[in-house]
Amino acid sequence: MHCYQPYRKQKVHSKDRMIIWSLLIAVITFCVIYVPVHLWSQTPNRDDHVLILIIGLILLYPLHKFFHILPIIHLWHDMKFSWSTLGKFVPLLTIQVRKPLVKWHYLTSLMFPLLINSLILSSLTFAFPAYSHYFTILQAVHFGICAQDLFILKSIVTCPNASYIEENSIGFEVLVNEAS
């Protein structure tokens, strides 16, 4: 196998740039989702259970990471976990699979949190319209968390279908067979 395309996370998108993109995506997502939901729902918003929002915000990132792991749980023994912080207070968990993954498997693991959390939060928005603003905020924050996943998706989706994705400490490489 040879390297078809290297991807260096810090070289392509610095932390500051990713934070700006994440915030921008979160704000746009909130506006795009909240306005139609608010127009659809005839139920007035209630603010008496703000604890739901706080708990949701606390659980959002761990659930996001859990849903990344779920499609590749069978590779548990090949995963490396490391913690870092963004600033002084925001903990970040990095999950690295030590062996190459088939492109579609990597993409499934990459997009699984976005799809599942969107389904769950959209369902809750329509099931509890009085708290739709809470679930819309959670969904917008989650889209912001998924910003880096979306940039990685953009890079990988154009690669050959028979390729493999190998992660390393500074990003990942797209590998293809010599015959391809």
Whether residue 99 is predicted with pLDDT greater than 60 in this model: the reply is yes
Domain around 63: 2-176
The answer for residues whose C-beta is within 8 angstroms of residue 143's C-beta and 6 or more apart is: 25, 26, 29, 114
**Tell me, what's the pLDDT at 9?**
67
Reported as a single tens digit per residue, the pLDDT across 74-94 is 988 888 888 887 777 777 888
Q: What are the CA-CA distances from residue 146 to residues 35, 46, 158, 168 (Å)?
A: 21, 28, 19, 20
Reported as a single tens digit per residue, the pLDDT across 133-145 is 999 999 999 999 9
Unique residue bearing structure tokens 């279908």: 161
What's the domain count of the chain?
A: 1
pTM of the model: 0.86
Task: Give all strands (DSSP E) within 17-170, no chain letters.
Answer: 79-86, 90-97, 101-102, 164-168
Reported as a single tens digit per residue, the pLDDT across 36-48 is 988 888 888 888 8
**Tell me, what's the pLDDT at 155?**
84
Top-confidence residue, 16 or 131: 131
Q: Which residues of 32-48 are buried (b: 16+ CB within 10 A; e: fewer)?
A: ebbeebeeeeeeeeeee
Top-confidence residue, 125 or 12: 125
14-18, 47-51, 103-107, range with the lowest pLDDT: 14-18
Reported as a single tens digit per residue, the pLDDT across 160-172 is 888 998 888 777 8
Whether residue 13 is predicted with pLDDT greater than 70 in this model: the reply is no
The answer for residues whose C-beta is within 8 angstroms of residue 128's C-beta and 6 or more apart is: 135
**Tell me, what's the pLDDT at 39?**
86
